[in-house]
């Protein structure tokens, strides 16, 4: 392959990996598992391309010596390698947790995501300095398509071989299609407490807490903890799958969102409901999904602990963990469509 073709292929694959990586955070149902497969194959294809890229980089360095440009490229290169190594480790052995200085213990997946995001700025600068000037033939046409398919095929083949040879400890058995590992299932409050970015655990006293139901409803209301408890003792088994790389199956108990909506009477023209935490963290769902949602007061036989969302948390089967709003204080029915929000929480 020519240097230009290698550079263009890396560029295309990196953009694809970023898109499919972000996309994989949105997939909660197994019909979306192909996105994880493609992301994995693309990652292995990048490793293959490194063989060429290493000699391209060496030549470039010999020619230019130490400059701001080569220093930034080196930094990008280190982050790129870090992202690939952590990605490969996660996909193969799936190391559960590693210590990260200052920040505490992280899954290798979270490390992979952090390194990949850190890679974006030096990568953009590098592109600005060394734009590979792709030609039409590098991007479209039969040869370009064959090259990409070939690379992905190598990716799939290597991955397949690795699955066969996989060490049992990192084995596929305990992992979901998302790659997440099982933690603390059926242990009630025993599963890990986690937040999306940094939402501190609020201390809520149950006699001062209220659930506000408002928006496009016939009867707005504020419910006390006792009133929510009285609304139902529905128990549902559901899987909480955190994008940090773990999942837990629990029996969640509480009030179906349906029951609350029926009580309030949804006005015509309403399309979505927003569940907002007392911390401000909020996620939106289409009204058609309301039947799947449960507002849980209990996990296993226990009331939710503060960390897990006391007094009330959302259970959203088929959605990744970041949709499972904790410390719910508001249910707002609105006319906005269900997708009307940032695809991932910002808080």
Ligand X SMILES: Nc1nc2c(c(=O)[nH]1)N[C@H]1C(S)=C(S)[C@@H](COP(=O)(O)O)O[C@H]1N2
Q: How far is the CB of 92 from Mo ion (least distance, A)?
A: 22
CB of 108 to ligand X, least distance (A): 17
Residue with smaller CB distance to Mo ion, 254 or 321: 321
94 or 321: whose CB is closer to Mo ion?
321
Nearest residue (CB) to Mo ion, 276 versus 322: 322
Tell me the per-residue interface mask from 216 to 255 with Mo ion, x by CB under 5 A, - otherwise.
Answer: --------------------------x-------------
Under DSSP, is residue 255 helix (H, G, I), strand (E, B) or coil? Answer: strand
Closest residue to ligand X using C-beta atoms: 321
3-state helix, strand, coil in the chain (%, to 5): 45, 20, 35
- Please report how close the Cβ of residue 269 comes to Mo ion at its closest, in angstroms: 33
**Residue 187 binds: one of ligand X, Mo ion, none (C-beta under 5 to 8 A by kind):** none
List, in order, residues 6 or more apart from 18 with CB less than 8 Å away: 116, 120
Query: Applying CB under 5 A, does 295 fall inside the site for Mo ion?
Result: no
Q: Which residues bind ligand X (CB under 6 A)?
A: 191-196, 199, 240, 242, 277, 279, 281, 307-309, 321-322, 324-327
- The single-letter DSSP state of residue 180 is P
CB-neighbour burial class of residue 104 (10 A; exposed 0-12, middle 13-18, buried 19+): exposed
Question: And the tokens for 206?
Answer: 């149950």
Measured CA distances, 191 to 240, 265, 314 (Å): 10, 36, 16
Nearer to ligand X, 45 or 228 (CB): 228
Pick from 267, 268, 270, 259: nearest CA to 211: 259
Q: Tokens 């603390």 appear where?
A: 184
Work out the angle between the directed axes of helices 3-24 and 142-165 (0-180°, nearest 10). Answer: 60
Q: Is 321 in the site for Mo ion (CB under 5 A)?
A: yes
Q: Which CB, 82 or 192, lies closer to ligand X? A: 192
- Nearer Cβ to Mo ion (178/297): 178
Fill in the DSSP letter of residue 190.
G
Q: Check binding of 309 to Mo ion (CB under 5 A).
A: no
Q: Where does this chain bind Mo ion (CB under 5 A)? A: 242, 321
């Amino acid at each position: 392959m020519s240097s230009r073709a290698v550079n263009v292929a890396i560029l295309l694959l990196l953009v694809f990996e970023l898109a499919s990586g972000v996309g994989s955070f949105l997939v909660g149902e197994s019909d979306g598992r192909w996105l994880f497969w493609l992301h994995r194959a693309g990652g292995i294809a990048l490793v293959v391309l490194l063989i060429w890229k290493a000699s391209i980089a060496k030549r470039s360095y010999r020619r230019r010596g130490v400059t701001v440009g080569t220093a930034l490229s080196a930094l990008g290169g280190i982050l790129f390698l870090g992202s690939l190594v952590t990605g490969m480790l996660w996909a193969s052995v799936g190391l559960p947790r590693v210590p990260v200085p200052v920040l505490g213990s992280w899954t290798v997946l979270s490390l992979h995501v952090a390194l990949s995001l850190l890679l974006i700025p030096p990568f953009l600068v590098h592109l600005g300095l060394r734009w590979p000037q792709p030609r039409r033939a590098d991007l479209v046409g039969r040869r370009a398509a064959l090259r990409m398919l070939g690379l992905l095929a190598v990716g799939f083949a290597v991955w397949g071989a690795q699955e066969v040879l996989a060490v049992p400890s990192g084995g596929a058995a305990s992992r979901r299609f998302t790659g997440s590992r099982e933690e603390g299932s059926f242990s009630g409050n025993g599963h890990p407490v986690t937040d999306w970015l940094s939402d501190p655990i609020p201390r809520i006293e149950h006699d001062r807490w209220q659930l506000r139901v408002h928006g496009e409803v016939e009867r707005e209301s504020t419910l006390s903890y006792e009133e929510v408890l009285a609304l139902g003792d529905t128990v549902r088994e559901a899987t909480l799958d955190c994008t940090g790389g773990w999942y837990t199956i629990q029996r969640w108990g509480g009030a179906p969102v349906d029951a609350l909506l029926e009580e309030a009477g949804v006005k015509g023209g309403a399309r979505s409901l927003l569940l907002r935490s007392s911390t401000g963290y909020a996620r939106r769902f289409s009204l058609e999904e309301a039947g799947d949602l449960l507002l849980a007061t209990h996990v296993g036989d226990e009331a939710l602990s503060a960390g897990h969302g006391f007094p009330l948390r959302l259970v959203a089967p088929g959605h990744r963990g970041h949709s499972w709003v904790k410390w719910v204080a508001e249910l707002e029915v609105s006319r906005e469509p269900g997708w009307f929000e940032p695809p991932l929480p910002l808080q």
